[in-house]
Structure 1
Amino acid sequence: MKVKQEPWVGAPRYWHKLVEIYSDKLKANPRAHLYVPLADALLNLGRINDAIFALEDGLNVFPNSRAARIMLARISYDKGRYKIAKKILEEVVASWPDSTAAVTLLCRIYDNEMNKDSALKISLGLLDHMPDSNFAKSLVTRYTDGDRSAPRENETGPAPAPYATGMQEAAPYYEHEEIPIFEKVKAMARLETLLYRINQLKSRN
């Protein structure tokens, strides 16, 4: 059954409200796992620098957050800061060689550098952890058969979009990140309640 999407979902006020909710929660509890969702909301508002600051704050609290590192690397890549993105991604892949999002983007950087050997190495690492993955197999084949073209986003499953447009679409950034579901549900429930009240007040006027 297809769930009907409320008209306010994706609207600027929706993301503004999420920024407000997440910011308040982080002020109350700096160790809440909400830095990545906050950055996601900020990106959807076009506040790229604020999103970077949020991710950097999050990494100060949770230095091993894979999701925050990958999102920060993606932003750096999109801003043309390839050396920064490369450094972050190499650290991520060294710790999590099964990260499809990190391997995919790092392969693109290696492709630009004409560094086939490094791209093949991390592709083989991904395949070792995901032997049944068609994408991992195609990636290895690309670097063993001489096809130097960059990985196509539609081959990655959940493609690393330039910026996320929601929690589900941001999956590559959040993969395996331990963001308590209960916290997200509570935040969304409060947002829905607030917007419902606003609409009720408007209708009365």
Structure 2
Amino acid sequence: MGSKTLTTRIIGGKYRGKKIRLPSKTTTRSSKARLRESLFNTLQFEVVGKNFVEMFGGSGSVGLEAISRGAKHAWFIEMDSDSFEILRRNCADIDASKCDLLHADAFDALFRILRELKDRNEKTFLYIDPPFSVREGYEDIYEKVIDTIARIDPERMEMIVVEHMTAFDFPERIGAFEKTKYRKFGKSALSYYTAK
């Protein structure tokens, strides 16, 4: 007997109500609908016509939501092969022409994308949703995220949003970026950073 495929739906925009598949819960967490809704209520129309990068892509639920709400293009980085296959299928179901998928380590691949954006003199929104640090092998994941943000050229960023465990306090300032907003959703939280 096959296990039932987990799904979620696009919340708003052009593809509202469209189902997207979720990887198995052991591999990745999908950003909960309430959290996604809050994120896009905050961003509103700012994503229209803009680029969007989702590190640790998983199902692609956040980047695909951005495309549904008018983002010009989205990059998804995912290292896990099973999750990547689900991500590929979800992008094909929504709009493959607006999706670039990288089957790679998120920390390396991000800077490849940023170099591409620099060549085009374009900016992007960046959504970072690393595996929760309670998973084996990810104990220092938030330190790596902080180090990565500190290395990002602010000229390339519209905004950085980090989804993280509420128990972990992200700094008020990281490199050229300052925390401008914080929202809590039970065990998960969103920290918003913009260049100052």
Q: Is TM-score (shorter-chain normalized) higher than 0.5?
A: no
Per chain length, whose mean CA-contact separation is higher, i.e. which structure has more relative contact order (CA < 8 Å, sep 6+)? 1
Of Structure 1 and Structure 2, which has the larger fraction of its residues in strand? 2
Of Structure 1 and Structure 2, which has the larger fraction of its residues in helix? 1
Bigger Rg, which one: 1
The TM-score, its normalising length taken from structure 2, stands at 0.30
